[in-house]
Amino acid sequence: MKTLFVCLANSKKYGERCIAGVEVKKTKSGYELIEKDGKPKWLRPVTEYQRGAISKNLVKNINLLDILEINVKEYCPKSYQSENAYFEESSLRKVGQKLSNDNLDKLIDMNQRNIFGNRGKAVSEDVIDKVDHSLTLIKVSDFEIYKRESDSQLRMKFEFNNVHYDLPITDLNFIEVYTEDGNLLRNVESLYLTISLAVNHNGWHSKLIAGVLC
């Protein structure tokens, strides 16, 4: 089944890539958002190897906000990762101009009290069954990017609904651009962040910043 989506995440995963976005449909006037239960319908194309990772060569020319088309073979929700779908890898292609940032406000979820149900940087495997999604887009205006000294990991501190978070950035394109120009966000007042919930590691599902848009 041919499916269109706006790419909102293109991040690293086990040496390969993970892409995700919100489903849309083509109309005479452009692209229209597809909703599920009153919210944007998220989609994460996955493969059958390396916990669903996609070859980095397949998505190396894909940028955030690109309109992409894939042939979905089967939706395969798995616990909290309700957005997963197997797809034909050869079907992935760009089909339209980038979505305007002005439309991003239609995709954000600012009403959630806490990201994925708690205030921390991860969700315990003991309560993961209470979470029914693993992707969300938020907007923040209070943020700080820094590099952790212990391993040089690029991270972001930000405030969302009066809660402070400190999460790693896995958006590889943003990491590359920001590393070249640390002043990139000097005059930026707000950011759109795609937050993803990772697979289990030592009993915890980490929260990751899988996409950064400004």
pLDDT in tens, 120-149: 999 999 999 999 999 999 999 999 999 998
Give the model confidence (pLDDT) of 146-205 as tens digits: 999 889 899 999 999 999 999 999 999 999 999 999 888 888 999 999 999 999 999 999
pLDDT at position 50: 66
Q: Kindly give the pairing relationship between strand 163-168 and strand 30-33.
A: unpaired
Q: Tell me the mean pLDDT in the region 69-90.
A: 94
CA–CA gap between residue 65 and residue 5 (Å, rounded): 9
- The CATH number for 108-213, chosen from 1.10.890, 2.40.50, 3.40.1710, 2.30.30, is 2.40.50
On the question of pLDDT at 102 being above 80, the answer is no
SS3 at position 209: strand
pLDDT at position 190: 95
Least confident of 53-57, 204-208, 210-214: 53-57
pLDDT band at 8 (very low <50, low <70, confident <90, very high): very high
Domain ranges of the chain: 2-101, 108-213
On the question of pLDDT at 211 being above 80, the answer is yes
Global pTM value: 0.94
On the question of pLDDT at 29 being above 90, the answer is no
pLDDT at position 183: 87
133/100: higher pLDDT:
133
- Residues whose CB falls within 8 Å of the CB of residue 122, separated by 6 or more in sequence, listed in order: 204, 205, 206, 207
Q: Please state, as a whole number, how many other Cβ atoms lie within 10 Å of the Cβ of residue 124.
A: 12
